Amino acid sequence: MQVKQIFVAGAGLMGAGIAQVCAQAGYEVRVRDLTEEITAQGLEAIRWSVGKLVEKGRVEGTVDEIMGRIKPATALAAAEEADFVFEAIIENLEAKRDLFAELDKICPAHTVLATNTSAIPVTDIAEATRRPAQVVGTHFFSPVPMMKAVEIVKGLATSNETMDIAAELCASLGKETIRVHRDVAGMVLNRINFPSTVEAIKLVEAGVASVEDIDKGMRLGFGRPMGPFETADMAGLEIGLNAMLTVYRETRDPKFHPPMLLQRKVKLGHLGRKTGIGWYKYDSNGKKLGPAD
Q: The whole model's pTM is what?
A: 0.93
- One-letter amino acid of 271: L
Whether residues 198 and 160 fall in one domain: no
- Of the residues 117, 152, 180, which one is the last residue of a structural domain? 180
Tell me: do 11 and 77 sit in the same domain: yes
pLDDT value of position 55: 94
- The yes-or-no answer on residue 161 being catalytic is no
Q: CA nearest 243: which of 185, 199, 289, 282?
A: 185
Q: How many domains would you assign to the chain?
A: 2
Query: Cβ-count burial of 236 within 10 angstroms (0-12 exposed, 13-18 middle, 19+ buried)?
Result: buried
Q: Do 96 and 221 lie in a common domain? A: no
Q: What confidence tens digit (pLDDT) does each residue in 105-132 have? A: 999 999 999 999 999 999 999 999 999 9
Does one domain contain both 32 and 174? yes
Mark whether 139 is an active-site residue: yes
CATH code of 12's domain: 3.40.50.720
On whether both 142 and 224 belong to a single domain, the answer is: no
Q: Which portions of the chain are predicted below pLDDT 50?
A: none
92 is a catalytic site residue: no
The pLDDT of residue 265 is 98
Residue where a domain stops, chosen among 134, 162, 180: 180
- 274 in a structural domain: yes
> Domain check: are 72 and 200 in the same one?
no
Q: Which pLDDT belongs to residue 1?
A: 87
Packed helices 260-268 and 189-205: angle between N→C axes, nearest 10 degrees: 90
Judge whether 118 counts as a catalytic residue.
yes
Give me the CATH number covering residue 270.
1.10.1040.10
Is there a single domain that holds both residue 224 and residue 155? no
Domain annotation covers residue 257: yes
> Which of 28, 190, 230, 270 does the annotation list as catalytic?
190
Please tell me whether residues 159 and 84 are part of one structural domain. yes
Identified catalytic residue from 49, 116, 118, 242? 118
- Cα separation, 59 vs 87, whole angstroms: 24
Choosing from 180, 207, 230, the residue where a domain stops is 180
> Which member of 151, 230, 238, 270 is catalytic?
151
If asked whether residues 227 and 137 sit together in one domain, one would say no
Does residue 185 fall inside a structural domain? no
Domain residues for the domain of 277 are 190-291
Catalytic, out of 139, 230, 238, 242: 139
- Single-letter code of the amino acid located at 243: A
Give the pLDDT score at 61.
92
